[in-house]
């Protein structure tokens, strides 16, 4: 049996969770709501993260624009996603929600702008 200790990030309570795994059987304890159980199972089976960073802007009133992955990406793809983000430049103007990279590092997840940058 494998046991993992986690802190839930599903809500502001931050419950300490204990996850016991034996084969396909996963037992979660310590959660005070269903979100804790869902978070723990996802974290041990398919850990994923939202990645935030910034991209250089050409011809903009600011040199950089903040960006993020539109949804979670597999945790093991973080470095590939960061490499792809650092290799791209955006042309001003950039608006919130603009897709900067349509399919980042083969994850199927777009990287989008989270700030407006107007043309200089």
CA distance 88 to 56: 7
Determine the Cα angle at 81 with ends 58 and 9, to 5°: 115
Tally of CB atoms within 10 A around 8: 23
Residue 24 pLDDT greater than 90, yes or no: no
Indicate the pLDDT class of residue 6, thresholds 50, 70 and 90: very high
Give pLDDT tens digits for 39-98: 999 999 999 999 999 999 999 999 999 999 999 999 999 999 999 999 999 999 999 999
What pLDDT does 25 receive?
A: 94
Share of the chain above pLDDT 90, in %: 96
In which band, very low, low, confident or very high, does the pLDDT at 23 lie, cut at 50, 70 and 90? confident
Mean pLDDT of all residues in the chain? Answer: 96
Domains and CATH numbers, the chain: 2-45 (no CATH), 52-113 (3.10.530)
Q: What is the mean pLDDT of residues 11-15?
A: 93
């Amino acid at each position: 049996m494998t046991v993992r200790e986690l802190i839930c990030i599903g809500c502001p309570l931050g419950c300490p969770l204990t996850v016991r795994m034996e084969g396909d059987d996963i037992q979660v304890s310590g959660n005070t709501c269903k979100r804790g159980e869902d978070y723990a199972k996802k974290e041990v089976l398919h850990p994923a993260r939202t990645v935030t960073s910034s991209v250089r802007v050409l011809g903009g009133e600011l040199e950089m624009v903040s960006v993020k992955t539109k949804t979670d990406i597999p945790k093991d793809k973080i470095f590939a996603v960061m490499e792809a983000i650092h290799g791209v430049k955006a042309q001003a103007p950039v608006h919130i929600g603009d897709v900067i990279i349509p399919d980042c590092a083969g994850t199927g997840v777009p990287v989008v702008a989270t700030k407006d940058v107007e043309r200089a």
